[in-house]
Amino acid sequence: MTRKKWTDAEIRFLKENVGRMKIETIAQKLHRSEGSIVSKMKRLGIAYTKNQTGHLSTHQLAELLSVDRNTIIGWMKRHGLKYTKKVTRTTKSFYFIDPMEFWKWADRNREKIDFSKIECNAIAPEPEWVRHERSKQKEEHYKVWSVKEERVLKMMVLSGYSYTEVAQRLSRTKTSVQRKFQRMTRRG
């Protein structure tokens, strides 16, 4: 049995449709076996849909933003983050976010993102405004405690207020309040 030579048109069709169509469908359209399609994908270096798209998977984006993957999915479903659904050679679906679309969405939803946790140019191309947001948030994260804030913290905790209530009053995180109080009680 002789192998049927791949034409340029078939290769172009394969490259354009991996991830958009199931392997089974591509095989039917090209009158080839699924095994032939998978072998050609491997030889061309497009065996994995994720690597071919240039977009970020929900998992990849979550890691770059230091958030849970479900946070990304929530943004997609409830807050308008645009995505593309891709299907692998089986029936498994993946969701991809174009970095350009992410930055447009992020610009409109700055309050949802902690830019200080995103490494510089981790999601390229990074818009100019992100650097300003990153530095602004880093300053907020490392806010020095004033003597007055320390007194309010000590008084409220000793009066029975929760760390959450103290954090709200002082515009700080619960963790920051808790750690500061522990450091204060250790030193006397």
Indicate yes or no: pTM above 0.85: no
Does 56 share its domain with 124? yes
Count of domains observed in the chain: 3
Within a domain: residue 139? no
pLDDT, tens digit (0-9, with 9 covering 90-100), for 39-84:
888 888 775 555 556 688 898 899 999 889 999 999 999 999 999 8
What domain range includes position 102? Answer: 52-134
Does 18 share its domain with 62? no
Q: pLDDT category, 143, cuts 50, 70, 90?
A: confident
Whether the per-residue pLDDT at 139 is higher than 70: the answer is: no
Ramachandran category for residue 160: left, alpha or beta (phi over 0 → left; psi -120 to 50 → alpha): left
Average pLDDT, the chain: 85
Whether the per-residue pLDDT at 15 is higher than 70: the answer is: yes
Residue 54 burial by Cβ neighbours in a 10 Å radius (0-12, 13-18, 19+): exposed
How many C-beta atoms lie closer than 10 Å to residue 180's C-beta?
A: 20
